[in-house]
Amino acid sequence: MSEYSGNEAVIMKNVCKDFKVLNRHEGLKGSIKDLFSRDYKTVSAVRDVTLTVNRGEIIGYLGPNGAGKSTTIKMMTGVLEPTSGELLVNGKVPYKNRTENCENIGVVFGQRSQLWWSLPLIESFKLLRDLYMVPEKDYEGMIELYRSLVDIEPILHKPVREMSLGQRTLSDILAAFLHNPAIVFLDEPTIGLDVSMKAKIRELILGLNKEKNTTVILTTHDMGDVDALCRRIVIIDKGTKIYDNDIEHLKNYFGSYRTLKLKRSDDTWEEYLIDEKTTDVMDVIMEKQKSMKIKDVKIDEISTEEVIKKIYEGSAK
Amino acid sequence: MNPKRLLAITRAGIMESLHFRLGIFVTLFANLIYLVLVYYLWKAIYDSSGTAVVNGMTFTDTMIYLILATALFNFLEMFVVWDMSRSIQSGKIVLDLLKPMRFRKYTFWSYTGNHIVQFVLTFIPTFVVVMIVTKGAIPVGLNLVWFLIATVLALMINYNLEMIVSPICFYTESTWGINIVKETIVLLLSGATIPLAFFPEKARMVVQYLPFRAVYDIPLSILLEKNGSDTWQGLVSLFALQLAWLAVLTLAGNLFWNCAVKKVTVNGG
Amino acid sequence: MHKRGLAFYARIYRKILIQDLKSKMSYRADFIISTFGMIMTNLSGFITFMILFHNFPTINGWDYYHMLFLYGFSLVALTPVQCFFDNNWNLRFMVQSGDFIKYCFRPVNVFFYFISEVFDVKGLGQLAFGIGTIVYAWIKIGIPVTVIIIAKLLVFLLTASLFMIALMNFAAATCFWIKGSGYVMVIMFRFKDFAKYPSSIFEGIFKIIFTFIIPIAFIAYYPSLVILEPSNVPLLSWISPLYGILFVYLSYRFWMLGVRKYDFTGS
């Protein structure tokens, strides 16, 4: 058994998750053949992942589509059982103690609202308070905290079905924190939102993390979220963990890379990623100048977005 | 409309239905049990009546009629109303309406694929079983061809009925309510629950001219060579009734649908 | 870890119910349409019944009023499944789209949480219809009105309703294993139409199947015999409450097993 010292929110040790799927054949003939086929194959969604998340951390759990992120989250929330390995959330095996585990976690899953569709938000809050048996004093305190962090008045008495996407996401996040869980899982919380709403939601998550020392596990494709919220990131690809460290470290890793931005005559920017170890920036500018008129030049450090892209590409090889 | 594209959609529909393989077997099994229920019920009914022929129908006639009606019902079953209401509630309807092909056409052809699968997997086996059990009580001849034509017409009429009902989803979320009203009316008045021959004289006069009969009763009458379908005149008049209703319902369906779509565009989804 | 007992669940259910009813009031069109639908199905059932008796005076030795009693009995027995368990109809869509997962994130029983979400008022219309039919047949048959008989009626109505609840749970839960199993629910719901006939019509192996495996015989026939034939009640009628509880329990376990085994790929 893994050592649980009380300070770890999540402990994963060699966790694997396999699914059995039918080998499908192509075409109409294939479809008819599949009707009677017993040709199953095993697909490993998560392979041998070892990971420890400490209390109060905000980690970015990243990976390309189909990398195994949601499967991991589903295991941590107790919905799926790992095929092998050890998994402890708040010191307990989530799948065996689903109800108990749920008391200590909050989940926001993409654009799927978990609130009662036709109820005003405040009524949903009250029902959640009862479901989680939150003491009245703590509940009031939480609502007060919400008031201090965001302007909740306009949405409090609005049914969820009538809300805009941004308001709905905001409501879902507030609902996920309402019972003051030890861990909150956020899956793509800012997807489809406009810039100001994104900023608002990031601020809210940071604020709640600071006030309540809540552990936040964030999966996203938006590197803006990662930059704003996470100090540590974990990258998973094809079910295998390929990176687990600070963002800073990651950037150092690609420290010799620069983003060269050239402004064309029509005021649009062109970007090039350059490895200074192999190529000289000035050479590139000179080369480009032969074919186009350059109005302005900018050299930036590599952005997180590009680092992640590099890593995905690297692991794909 | 490019026929190649229609074929592609139909083919995709066939493959999609085959995808649910266990579902198909379970459906077959459930149908079988249902048929057993129908059998015992009517056997008991005829046993208690003391006569072999009631309203011109023998026990065998009634059984064949009801079993094939059930098989037809399953084969014609569409979830257009459910799909539509899901799509409206999730906002997906806007995407559906934006598809390059007209939404209704697309739905029709992709369901056609499903119908073909259902016809082969449920109707034909049922038909064969009935033939064996009744030792060939169903006449085999030109009537099979007429039956197929009548069934295609029935399919189109049924589709138009769905299309007339489904725009109501734009106005209400009670899909269950809409669907059950539609299903109940169709099942009762088309003769799928109880053969129309058993209806009291006056009711039968009215029901005979309603569109619902064109869905189940007419194809089955033609198959069993009842209701005068064994004469040319009778056959022509049955087809005429189907065609007339098809025309009326297509028009009505178009009208309803266009009104509803206008409402969506006004609301912006 | 909080303990959540029966009292907790009762309180939560009541609260959700009140909220649900409040929000229903704002959809008057829905309410009217589903009530209309309910009236139509009942009317259609009734018309079928009348047409049948118009052609055949008795069925398997049962006369018009006894059959009417059975009919009313089956209608009342259906009310609980319609009022309280209607969300089962949505299960397969939720599972397919992946939305079902949201029910697994709360510290309460998944089945309870899912079922509690919908309370369907329309079932009440059917209840009224069923009660009316029972009362009418009761008077016509001339069953005495005593406290004991009324108490028996209530107990056995409740018993009958258990079987319908269990059947629909089983049918709905098939969607965890079988894609495209929507038809199972549709046909299971149509099986109930056969509950209003005396199950003495079945023979041989099917008598056993429709009594114990797909217990259509228990939805009205066996429980109602307690009232209709007090001098000659079969043993199966007396044990029906126990069997009903067992059946509901099994259907619940089956449903929960589905949740556990499902791999939640729809996303």
Kindly provide the ipTM of the predicted complex, given to two decimals: 0.82
Task: Give the distance from residue A37's alpha carbon to the nearest chain B alpha carbon, in angstroms.
Answer: 10
Could you report the per-residue pLDDT of C36-74, keeping only the tens digit for each? 877 888 888 888 888 888 888 788 888 889 999 999 999
Give the CATH number of the domain where residue A88 resides.
3.40.50.300
Residue A46 falls within a domain, yes or no?
yes
Residue A3 falls within a domain, yes or no?
no
Q: Which of B49, B54, B171 sits opposite C29 (nearest CB)?
A: B171
pLDDT > 90: percent of chain A: 36
Tally of domains within chain B: 1
Tokens encoding A209: 């993390």
**Per-residue pLDDT, C69:** 93
Residue C57: partners with Cβ closer than 8 Å, 6 or more residues away: B48, B49, C63, C64
Q: Residue A54 phi/psi, 5° resolution?
A: -90, 160
Task: Give the distance from residue C13's alpha carbon to the nearest chain B alpha carbon, in angstroms.
Answer: 22
pTM given for the model: 0.82
Last residue of a domain, which of A235, A250, A265? Answer: A250
**Per-residue pLDDT, A317:** 46
How far, in Å, CA of A250 to CA of A246, rounded?
Answer: 6
Q: Is the predicted pLDDT of residue B40 greater than 70, yes or no?
A: yes
Q: Is the predicted pLDDT of residue B195 greater than 80, yes or no?
A: yes
Question: Is C19–A114 a contact, with Cβ atoms under 8 angstroms apart?
Answer: no
Q: Tell me if chain A has a CB within 8 Å of the CB of B14.
A: yes
Q: Tell me if chain B has a CB within 8 Å of the CB of C59.
A: yes
Q: A269 pairs with which residues across the strands?
A: A263
Residue A308 falls within a domain, yes or no?
no
Residue A309 falls within a domain, yes or no?
no
A101 and A130 both lie in a single domain: yes
Residue C208: partners with Cβ closer than 8 Å, 6 or more residues away: none
For chain C, list the contacting chains (3+ Cβ pairs, <8 Å).
Answer: A, B
**Per-residue pLDDT, B18:** 64
Least confident of A228-242, B75-89, B156-170: B75-89
Residue A310 falls within a domain, yes or no?
no
A97 and A229 both lie in a single domain: yes
* Nearest residue of C to residue B192, measured between CA atoms: C48
Residue A150 falls within a domain, yes or no?
yes
Least confident of A25-29, B223-227, C198-202: A25-29
A287 and A273 both lie in a single domain: yes
Tally of domains within chain A: 2
Question: Is B180–C27 a contact, with Cβ atoms under 8 angstroms apart?
Answer: no
Q: Which of C181, C184, C201 sits opposite B44 (nearest CB)?
A: C201
Measured between beta carbons, which residues in chain C are less than 8 angstroms from residue A107? 105
For chain A, list the contacting chains (3+ Cβ pairs, <8 Å).
Answer: B, C
Last residue of a domain, which of A191, A215, A250? Answer: A250
Q: Is the predicted pLDDT of residue C159 greater than 80, yes or no?
A: yes
Which candidate in C13, C16, C22, C263 is best for mutational testing of the A interface (most A CBs within 10 A)?
A: C263
* C59 contacts B42 by C-beta, under 8 angstroms: no
* Nearest residue of A to residue C19, measured between CA atoms: A119
Q: Tell me if chain B has a CB within 8 Å of the CB of C42.
A: no
A101 and A38 both lie in a single domain: yes
CA-wise closest residue to A61 among A198, A211, A225: A225
A191 and A263 both lie in a single domain: no
- Relative to beta strand A269-275, strand A257-263 is antiparallel
Question: Is B21–A28 a contact, with Cβ atoms under 8 angstroms apart?
Answer: no
Could you report the per-residue pLDDT of C210-250, keeping only the tens digit for each? 998 889 999 989 999 999 988 888 999 999 999 999 999 99
A288 and A195 both lie in a single domain: no
Q: Which domain holds residue A162?
A: 8-250
Q: Which domain holds residue B225?
A: 3-267
Which candidate in A19, A31, A79, A121 is best for mutational testing of the C interface (most C CBs within 10 A)?
A: A79
Q: Is the predicted pLDDT of residue A200 greater than 50, yes or no?
A: yes
Q: Is the predicted pLDDT of residue A114 greater than 60, yes or no?
A: yes
- Which runs of E-coded beta strand occur in chain A? 8-22, 40-54, 58-62, 84-89, 105-109, 183-187, 215-219, 232-237, 240-246, 257-263, 269-275, 296-301
Q: Is the predicted pLDDT of residue A4 greater than 70, yes or no?
A: yes
Least confident of B38-42, C110-114, C179-183, C260-264: C179-183
CA distances for B198 relative to B62, B205, C52, angstroms: 10, 12, 8
CA-wise closest residue to C132 among C51, C226, C42: C42
Which letter does DSSP use for residue A302 in this model? P
A148 and A192 both lie in a single domain: yes
Q: Which of B11, B14, B18 sits opposite A34 (nearest CB)?
A: B18
A140 and A75 both lie in a single domain: yes
- 3-state DSSP of chain C: CCCCCHHHHHHHHHHHHHHHHHHHHCCHHHHHHHHHHHHHHHHHHHHHHHHHHHHCCCECCECHHHHHHHHHHHHHHHHHHHHHCCCHHHHHHHHHHCHHHHHHCCCCCHHHHHHHCCCCCCHHHHHHHHHHHHHHHHHHHCCCCCHHHHHHHHHHHHHHHHHHHHHHHHHHHHHHCCCCCHHHHHHHHHHHHHCCCCHHHCCHHHHHHHHHHCCHHHCCHHHHHHHHCCCCCCHHHHHHHHHHHHHHHHHHHHHHHHHHHCCCCCC
Residue A315 falls within a domain, yes or no?
no
A178 and A282 both lie in a single domain: no
A221 and A197 both lie in a single domain: yes
Task: Give the distance from residue A19's alpha carbon to the nearest chain C alpha carbon, in angstroms.
Answer: 8
A240 and A276 both lie in a single domain: no
Residue A314 falls within a domain, yes or no?
no
CA distances for B259 relative to A294, B87, B91, C132, angstroms: 56, 18, 18, 41
- Relative to beta strand A232-237, strand A240-246 is antiparallel
**Per-residue pLDDT, A105:** 93
Q: A11 pairs with which residues across the strands?
A: A52, A88
A244 and A260 both lie in a single domain: no
Which letter does DSSP use for residue A25 in this model? P
